[in-house]
Structure formats: structure tokens, C-alpha cells
Structure 1
Amino acid sequence: CLGLGKEVPFTGLSIPELFRRTLLALESIGGLIVLVLDEVDSLIKKSGDDILYQLTRTNTNLRKSKLSIIGITNDLKFMEYLDSRIRSGLGEEEILFPPYNAVELEDILGRRALSAFYEGVLSPSVIPLCAALAARDYGDCRRALDLLRISGEIAERENSPIVKEEHVRMAQIESEHDKVVEGIATLPLHAKLVLIAIYLIEKSKKNGTITTGEVYNVYKNLCRKTSFDSVTQRRVSDLINELDTLGLINSKLVSMGRYGRTKIIKLAVEERSLKEALKDDVRLQNIIIS
């Protein structure tokens, strides 16, 4: 509504009223209107697919205008998540954009570097190396730009007049560290508590194995210490699987003979990354990670 020039009170509006006002605004504009929904999968996961369903029905209520929708997503299975009514109403045409290759990334970085760096401060190998590393990481352009930016920042901190290949290597390590810290910092509360439990057990046992049962017991103690209600052991087992999927821990199912099977768990992140990620979480300030 705001993008179409319609006021929305700070107290908000109901979804039906928002759509009513949106339809009126679209009708007043007239002609063909293109609505671009970036990261449309996030919208659906957060708010459900009813919003998208309403949008696909918009043209039946318009006379002077027509609405066309472009959805952008990195999730190749996105359409499978939608209700059959929405898939039918979209009448979509999928356009697949392949990841950037090293040559394309090098071209993009070269253009950006003209604005970001003085002439002659980049070693000839810097941009090709940033492009090659990012191309290896699913052709992520944002990662390529981050590597180039961080390389420059490292060179600046060292008072180096030239950004060198070694700065890119250092930037790669720093970037990976930042990614892990952000991943931990955005975890749900109980996932953080489970991760802390694994860290504390590993620190106390040194090279000993860690089982799901041990993690659950320490997790429950942490919940008592912080006055949080604990979740079930089954849910903790699910959280362990999720942490494993994220690459924050490594877990392996092993047979214990007549005692059944259990998971052997190992922390996969550095201690400094864990501490840095948790230091600003006020909910966990009573847990001391020494």
C-alpha cells in the first residue's frame, strides 16, 4: 500500500483491508503493473501462501489494470511447496539463472574495483583469486564482493600500499569465521543451549565421546540455571540433527551392541567463534563460558 501511495496507520490493518486498498490503488494506476517479489520463498515461509493466492486472484477484480507477478528465489523446489490452486493460478514460466562462473565474477569485480580502489593498488592476482574462490562457492557474487572488500580492509589495517594475494587468503579465513558467528547468533534459543551443552561436555571430557543422553542432561542443567523451560529429549535430538545439517557439529550414529544405537557428537566450530556469537545474547548472560 505504501509503495502505491496509500496510507497505512501505524497500528496496522487487517489482510482483507490491505488487499482492498491495494486493489483500489492498482485500479487507479491503470495499465500493466509488474510486482516483483524478491526471496518470495521467505514470504511464504513466514506468512503462509494465502497472500500469494490472493495476488493470483487479483486480476479477476481489476478492470482498468492487470497485475503480473515475478517471484525471485534460490530454492529450486519452491513451486512444490505451493498449494495446487496457487500453481494453477500463477500459470508460471520458470527462468533458471545458472550460478556465475569465475570469468563472469572477475568481470563484475573488475567493474566494482574501479569505484572502490585507487588505480594500481590491487595486485594483478587479487581479482582472479577472489573470483575463483567465490565461483567454487556456488558462484556467489556477494561472497566475491565480500572477499574483495575484506582484502582491502586487511591491507589497510596493515598499512600496506598494495592489496596482495595473501590478503585475499586472510580475507577468506575471516569471512568463514564471520559466517559461522552469524550462523550461531541467529540460532533459536534452545539450539544455542544444545550447542553450549556440547561445548561444555567436550571441554570437560577432552577426547572422550559425547552421546545424545549426555547432551540432554547438560542441556537440562543449563535450562535450570537460566530459568528456561526445557524441551523433550526427542526435540533435543532433532536440534542435534539441525546443528549437524548446519555444519556446526558432526554427529554419527553408532551401534552400542545390546545397548542399542546412539549418536556420537563432536563440535565443529572454534571456541572463539562460539563465544563471539553468544556474547551479545542477553538471555544467556548467566551462562559463563570460560
Structure 2
Amino acid sequence: LAAQEHGGARRALDLRRTAGELAERSQAEIVAEKHVRQAQDKIELDRVVEVVRTLPTQSKIVLFAVILLEKNGVHNINTGEVFNIYKRLCEEIDADVLTQRRVTDLISELDMLGIVNAVVVSKGRYGRTKEMGLSVPVEETEAVLLSDSRLGDIENAQPFVQARFDN
């Protein structure tokens, strides 16, 4: 299974070790395929947690804005919506507000890291925007962000998320 995805020996050993630990915890006699699949999920989640944990504060605020929009049922989130929530979050926790261009760059970085999935969409005469959604589990990602003391009271921030009707 490890060879199918990446083929790396270290990854295979990590997968084997994690699958063995999961099998041992469930008191199984053998390491079954289900343990390997669970191990893959755990390793991927651990990778995501580590990446999110080590993000710069501004990137974490942008990511939290995306999470708030998703949790409020907004799909195909665009850059403008993220920027509006981001600004309000920065004001709530007394953080510097970056320009919309810089926030767009941070969204691109989150996309490259595999945390969000962003695509550029043409809106005709209204220009272009990035539409995005989370590529990682909401609850776990939110928990990692809220564990960062630099984000202060971001958990209690309730920026207004405006509902919109998609055409």
C-alpha cells in the first residue's frame, strides 16, 4: 500500500509501525488491511496537524476565515469573502491587516500545502477570483489553530458571515 502512493521506504516503515500500533491497541492477532488504512489516515492527519501548527500567524488567520465560512455553509468561497472575514478577525485580536493581494498570496501558499483547494475562476466582466474550499478536516484543523496562544481570543470572535445565493 505504501508503494502505491509514494514508494518511499521511510513512509513504508512509518506506515508499518503505525499500523502495528493500531492493531496492538485493538488487541488484534495480526495487522490487517483495515489497520494499514487507518494508519494511512492517521499519518495524513498528523502531517496536516504539523503543517497547520507551523504556519505563520497571518496564514493561520486566513485559514481560520476559510473555516468560519465553511462552517457557515458557504461553498465555493471566494477571495473577497475570505478577506472580509480575515479583516474582522484581525481587528478582533488586534493583529496587523495585510492587503488583499497579500492575503491572496497566502491563500495560494495554503493551496500549495494542500490545506485548501483553490482555483482561479473568471467572472466575465466582473474579473477573476479564486474559489476555494478546505482540503483538510474542519474540526481537527480548527483545534490546532485555536491551540495557538498568539491567536488570542479568535475562538470567541464572531465576524458576520453573510449568506449569498449562488447562481
With the shorter chain as reference, the TM-score category is 0.7 to 0.9
In the alignment, the residues of structure 1 paired with residue 5 and residue 33 of structure 2 have an alpha-carbon distance, to the nearest angstrom, of 18
Secondary structure of 2:117's counterpart equals strand
Q: Tell me whether 1:146 sits opposite 2:14 in the alignment.
A: yes
In the alignment, the residues of structure 1 paired with residue 77 and residue 143 of structure 2 have an alpha-carbon distance, to the nearest angstrom, of 23
Give 1:187 shift. 1.0
Which residue of the partner structure matches residue 129 of structure 1?
Answer: none
Which residue of the partner structure matches residue 145 of structure 2?
Answer: 278
Q: Tell me whether 1:213 sits opposite 2:88 in the alignment.
A: no
25, 28, 41: which one pairs with 1:160?
A: 28
Q: Tell me whether 1:269 sits opposite 2:132 in the alignment.
A: no
Query: Percent of counterpart pairs with the same letter?
Result: 51
Q: Which has the larger radius of gyration?
A: 1
1:155 alignment partner AA: A
Which residue of the partner structure matches residue 232 of structure 1?
Answer: 99
Instruction: Compute the TM-score of the two structures, normalised by the length of structure 1.
Output: 0.51
Which residue of the partner structure matches residue 253 of structure 1?
Answer: 120
Which residue of the partner structure matches residue 187 of structure 1?
Answer: 55
In the alignment, the residues of structure 2 paired with residue 143 and residue 279 of structure 1 have an alpha-carbon distance, to the nearest angstrom, of 29
Query: Does structure 2 conserve the Cα–Cα contact (< 8 Å) formed by 1:181 and 1:276?
Result: no
Instruction: Compute the TM-score of the two structures, normalised by the length of structure 2.
Output: 0.85
Higher relative contact order (CA 8 A, sep 6+): 2
1:222 alignment partner AA: L
Q: 1:101-125, CA deviations, whole angstroms, 9 ceiling, x for partnerless residues?
A: xxxxxxxxxxxxxxxxxxxxxxxxx
In the alignment, the residues of structure 2 paired with residue 177 and residue 187 of structure 1 have an alpha-carbon distance, to the nearest angstrom, of 16
Q: How does 1:1-290 map to 2 (within 5 A)?
A: 133-204=1-72, 206-288=73-155
Secondary structure of 2:155's counterpart equals coil
Give 1:285 shift. 4.0
Give 1:272 shift. 2.4
Give 1:275 shift. 2.5
Q: 1:238-267, CA deviations, whole angstroms, 9 ceiling, x for partnerless residues?
A: 001111111111111112122111111111
Moved over 6 A (4+): none
Q: For residues 208 and 166 of structure 1, do their structure 2 counterparts lie closer, same or farther at Cα, with a shift above 3 Å needed?
A: closer
**Equivalenced residues, count:** 157
| Structure 2 portions without partners, runs of 5+ | 159-167
In the alignment, the residues of structure 1 paired with residue 76 and residue 106 of structure 2 have an alpha-carbon distance, to the nearest angstrom, of 19
Query: Does structure 1 conserve the Cα–Cα contact (< 8 Å) formed by 2:115 and 2:136?
Result: yes
Instruction: Give the root-mean-square deviation of aligned CA atoms.
Output: 1.8
Query: Does structure 1 conserve the Cα–Cα contact (< 8 Å) formed by 2:79 and 2:104?
Result: yes
Query: Does structure 1 conserve the Cα–Cα contact (< 8 Å) formed by 2:146 and 2:154?
Result: no
Give 1:224 shift. 1.0
Q: 1:72-111, CA deviations, whole angstroms, 9 ceiling, x for partnerless residues?
A: xxxxxxxxxxxxxxxxxxxxxxxxxxxxxxxxxxxxxxxx
Give 1:178 shift. 1.0
In the alignment, the residues of structure 2 paired with residue 279 and residue 198 of structure 1 have an alpha-carbon distance, to the nearest angstrom, of 14
Secondary structure of 1:262's counterpart equals strand
Give 1:207 shift. 4.7
Query: Does structure 2 conserve the Cα–Cα contact (< 8 Å) formed by 1:223 and 1:229?
Result: yes
Secondary structure of 2:129's counterpart equals strand
